[in-house]
């Protein structure tokens, strides 16, 4: 039998390795930024075009590479970080596997320019698909400039699986944030499609957070600091009132390396127990410093997952550190044993019985008498009414009105403002519908052949979805003007998302008077939205757009309409009156597709009489 096992060619092996290391353009950004940090750079610039598909360029002023190092850096498993297996448990740098540049060069066109400070001439290297095209001396500045062009050009299947530019840009910015937060002492700049997106000067962590997430972030932060033999915790948590529906502002760093760890995340969440709503998530920026020998960061290709030797102790330390900060800064109630002695009762008063104060009143006081009865003592003498003029009966109050040319007018009281019901009554008169509500969730309607069961939340979603979709398309939404503009604070990345969908929101009925880097000012709202709902609706919309924002115009409108409908639909557990149920039913069956919700779930179910009869056989 002939042999069937063979060695893969180097370029094929590199492409397979690239599938693990380079999942999307953001993976390239992460690897290149970490290499620049390992090169002891004090200033790093990231340039991105077409969401990284056309160009990803990182420019640093680090130590640079020699001619030989520049060439060897693109070989698999070539690294300056480790020499023996034991070095894996004593890592103080970002990259160490030696796979990043080799994997990137296998699936893109790479251009490298580098020079060391002691060298007068640097190196210019061009690689395409793991093949070295040219390597020659060049006059370049100190440091390294690496450009990755046409990512996945030789693997079109991988390129087709990439999301829209908006989603890929979001992932790139997330990676940029993680690296920039971990190294506030380094100056970072990000240029996207020719626009300066971030320009972060060298600063401390608190200033770096404000530069990335907006100036309002500073007032939301609560410092956390704890040091033990096992773990040192530094950083900030967000005050409980700033908890969000999404998990955007949650960052764990271990030895300045961003990680994800659901177990430690639960430690932070448990510390906020009782301070935030059950459906919201706290924000935190926590830096953990541990002995490199106690962790294993070589368990995942992207190095975002680590394994700890004693994670139970770390859980307890993080939880107590967060709770201590919440109590220390009066965010949560605590027992204070440091008593202020000024509030203690003096010793010579300790045996005395407190005497309640007494009040004397004139029980004969009558305000309608010409001269109120005098009181020799007490409060009545202090608050005695002034004497009226003689003949000062109540008719005298109106004496002289006619002589001064003043006329009395009949005052017509304003009609009492009717409180808004949950649904409009425009469908009144279409015929009464007998219905009942069960469990504050379902609406039951008798039909000719049985009973119709309507899911009230899904039904209202369908009604709102079609209405929003029509308003976005036709741009004829009705707005209600606010007495005072509504100002909401968002982070800088969130404001960028709102700018992308501003036109669609205006078609729905929003009127924006100002849209700055950190806040949004709204003059008018859609008629069906109250002021209290605005922040929650926009926050959910921003979160869903960050997850996946389609590039097609109709798909964008469809996603916006779905998100708004789900946010505003009546929730399960909301009791509905007879008129509200009736209006919901009329509006549902006036829709183009009343049987399905925006997410294609069944809105109602008809139970035939025969099916009901079989239940009692």
pLDDT average, residue stretch 456-475: 87
pLDDT in tens, 100-144: 888 888 889 999 999 999 999 999 999 998 889 999 999 999 999
At 416 the pLDDT is 40
At 50 the pLDDT is 92
Distance in angstroms (rounded) separating the CA atoms of residues 39 and 249: 28
At 409 the pLDDT is 44
pLDDT average, residue stretch 351-360: 76
pLDDT average, residue stretch 367-380: 54
Q: CB-based contacts of 517: which residues, under 8 Å, 6+ apart?
A: 214, 492, 495
pLDDT higher than threshold 50 for residue 12: yes
pLDDT average, residue stretch 399-404: 51
Strand partners, 237: 222, 284
| Residue 491 pLDDT class (50, 70, 90 cuts) | confident
pLDDT average, residue stretch 250-256: 91
For residue 39, count other CB atoms closer than 10 A to its CB: 17
Query: What is the C-alpha end-to-end distance of the chain, expressed in Å?
Result: 69
At 560 the pLDDT is 83
Return the closest-CA partner of residue 257 out of 304, 299, 216: 304
| Residue 379 pLDDT class (50, 70, 90 cuts) | very low
Secondary structure of residue 396 in the 3-state scheme: helix
Residues in the chain: 617
Find the angle CA(490)-CA(479)-CA(508) to the nearest 5 degrees.
65
Return the closest-CA partner of residue 464 out of 533, 511, 515, 543: 533
561-599 b/e (C-beta count within 10 Å ≥ 16 → b): bbbbbbbbbbeeeeebeeebbbbbbbbbeebeebeebbe
Strand partners, 132: 127
For residue 462, count other CB atoms closer than 10 A to its CB: 25
pLDDT in tens, 222-237: 999 999 988 999 999 9
| Residue 517 pLDDT class (50, 70, 90 cuts) | confident
| Residue 19 pLDDT class (50, 70, 90 cuts) | low
130-160 b/e (C-beta count within 10 Å ≥ 16 → b): beeeeeeeeebebbbbbbbbebbebbeebee
CB 200 within 8 A of CB 189: yes
At 94 the pLDDT is 61
Three-state SS string across 478-544, please? CEEEEEEEEEEECCHHHHHHHHHCHHHHHHHCCEEEEECCCEEEEEEEECCCCHHHHHHHHHHHHHH
pLDDT in tens, 69-79: 888 888 876 66
pLDDT average, residue stretch 431-455: 85
The pTM assigned to this predicted structure is 0.66
| Residue 417 pLDDT class (50, 70, 90 cuts) | very low
Strand partners, 117: none
Query: Which residues make up the CATH 3.30.230.10 domain(s) of the chain?
Result: 206-328
Most distant CA pair in the chain, distance: 133
| Residue 252 pLDDT class (50, 70, 90 cuts) | very high
User: Alpha helices, DSSP H only, in 44-146?
Assistant: 67-72, 100-106
Q: CB-based contacts of 329: which residues, under 8 Å, 6+ apart?
A: 222, 223
pLDDT higher than threshold 50 for residue 404: no
For residue 74, count other CB atoms closer than 10 A to its CB: 22
pLDDT average, residue stretch 16-23: 68
At 446 the pLDDT is 87
Record: fold of 206-328: Ribosomal Protein S5; domain 2 (3.30.230)
pLDDT in tens, 164-208: 888 888 899 999 999 999 999 999 999 999 888 899 999 999 999
More reliable by pLDDT, 219 or 45: 45
Q: What is the DSSP letter of 185?
A: T
pLDDT in tens, 43-66: 999 999 999 999 999 999 999 999
pLDDT higher than threshold 60 for residue 493: yes
pLDDT higher than threshold 60 for residue 424: no
Record: fold of 10-202: Heat Shock Protein 90 (3.30.565)
Strand partners, 226: 233
Query: Which residues make up the CATH 3.30.565.10 domain(s) of the chain?
Result: 10-202
Percentage above 90 pLDDT, the chain: 29
* Averaged confidence pLDDT in the chain: 80
Strand partners, 111: 126, 147
| Residue 375 pLDDT class (50, 70, 90 cuts) | very low
Torsion of CA 270, 272, 276, 279, to 10 degrees: -30
Which CATH number is 436-606 given? 3.30.1370.100
| Residue 528 pLDDT class (50, 70, 90 cuts) | confident
Q: Which residue has 């979001």 as its token pair?
A: 170
| Among 322-336, 381-395, 565-579, the least confident range | 381-395
Strand partners, 44: 60, 188
Strand partners, 520: 488, 515
């Amino acid at each position: 039998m002939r042999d069937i096992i063979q060695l893969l060619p180097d370029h094929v092996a590199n492409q397979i390795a690239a599938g693990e290391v380079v999942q999307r353009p953001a993976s390239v950004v992460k690897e290149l930024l970490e290499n620049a940090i390992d090169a002891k750079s004090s200033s790093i610039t990231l340039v991105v075009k077409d969401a990284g598909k056309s160009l990803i360029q990182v420019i640093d002023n680090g130590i640079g590479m020699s001619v030989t190092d520049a060439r060897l850096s693109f070989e698999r498993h070539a690294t300056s970080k480790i020499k023996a297996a034991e070095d894996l448990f004593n890592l103080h740098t970002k990259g160490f596997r030696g796979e990043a540049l080799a994997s990137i060069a296998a699936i893109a066109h790479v251009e490298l320019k580098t020079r060391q400070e002691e060298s007068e001439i640097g190196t210019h290297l061009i690689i395409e698909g793991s093949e070295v095209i040219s390597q020659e001396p060049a006059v370049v500045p100190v440091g390294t400039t690496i450009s990755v062009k046409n990512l996945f050009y030789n693997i079109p299947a991988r390129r087709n699986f990439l999301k829209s530019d908006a989603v890929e840009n979001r992932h790139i910015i997330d990676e940029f944030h993680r690296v920039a937060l971990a190294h506030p002492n380094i100056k970072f700049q990000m240029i996207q499609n020719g626009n300066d997106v971030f320009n972060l000067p060298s600063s401390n962590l608190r200033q770096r957070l404000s530069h990335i997430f907006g100036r309002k972030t500073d007032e939301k932060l609560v410092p956390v600091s704890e040091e033990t033999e096992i773990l040192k915790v530094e950083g900030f948590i967000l005050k409980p009132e700033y908890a969000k529906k999404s998990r955007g502002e949650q960052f764990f760093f271990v030895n300045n390396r961003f990680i994800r760890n659901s177990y430690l995340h639960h430690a932070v969440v448990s510390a906020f127990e009782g301070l935030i709503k059950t459906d919201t998530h706290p924000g935190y920026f926590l830096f953990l410093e541990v002995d490199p020998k106690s962790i294993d960061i070589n368990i995942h290709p992207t190095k975002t997952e680590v394994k700890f030797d004693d994670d139970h102790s770390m859980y307890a330390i993080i939880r107590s550190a967060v709770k201590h900060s919440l109590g220390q800064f009066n965010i949560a109630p605590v027992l204070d044993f440091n008593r202020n002695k000024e509030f203690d009762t003096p010793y010579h008063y300790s045996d005395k019985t407190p005497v309640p104060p007494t009040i004397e009143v004139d029980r004969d006081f009558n305000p309608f008498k010409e001269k109120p009865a005098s009181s020799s003592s007490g409060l009545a003498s202090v608050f005695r009414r002034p004497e009226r003029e003689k003949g000062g009966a109540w008719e005298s109050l109106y004496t002289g009105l006619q002589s001064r040319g003043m006329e009395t007018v009949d005052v017509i009281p304003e009609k009492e403002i009717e409180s808004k019901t949950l649904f409009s009554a425009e469908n009144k008169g279409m015929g009464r519908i007998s219905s009942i509500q069960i469990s504050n969730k379902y609406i039951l309607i008798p039909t000719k052949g049985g009973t119709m069961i309507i899911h009230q939340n899904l039904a209202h979603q369908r009604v709102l979805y079609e209405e929003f979709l029509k308003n976005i398309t036709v741009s004829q939404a009705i707005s209600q003007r606010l007495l005072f503009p509504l100002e909401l604070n968002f982070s800088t990345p969130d404001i960028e998302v709102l700018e992308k969908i501003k036109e669609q929101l205006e078609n729905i009925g929003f009127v924006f008077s100002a849209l700055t880097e950190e806040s949004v000012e709204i003059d008018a709202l859609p008629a069906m939205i109250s002021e209290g709902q605005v922040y929650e609706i926009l926050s959910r919309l921003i979160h869903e757009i960050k997850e996946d924002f389609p590039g097609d115009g109709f798909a964008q409108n469809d996603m916006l309409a779905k998100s708004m409908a789900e946010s505003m639909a009546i929730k399960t557990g909301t009791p509905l009156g007879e008129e509200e149920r009736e209006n919901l039913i009329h509006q549902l069956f006036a829709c183009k597709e009343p049987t399905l919700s925006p997410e294609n779930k069944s809105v109602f179910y008809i139970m035939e009489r025969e099916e009901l009869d079989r239940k009692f056989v």
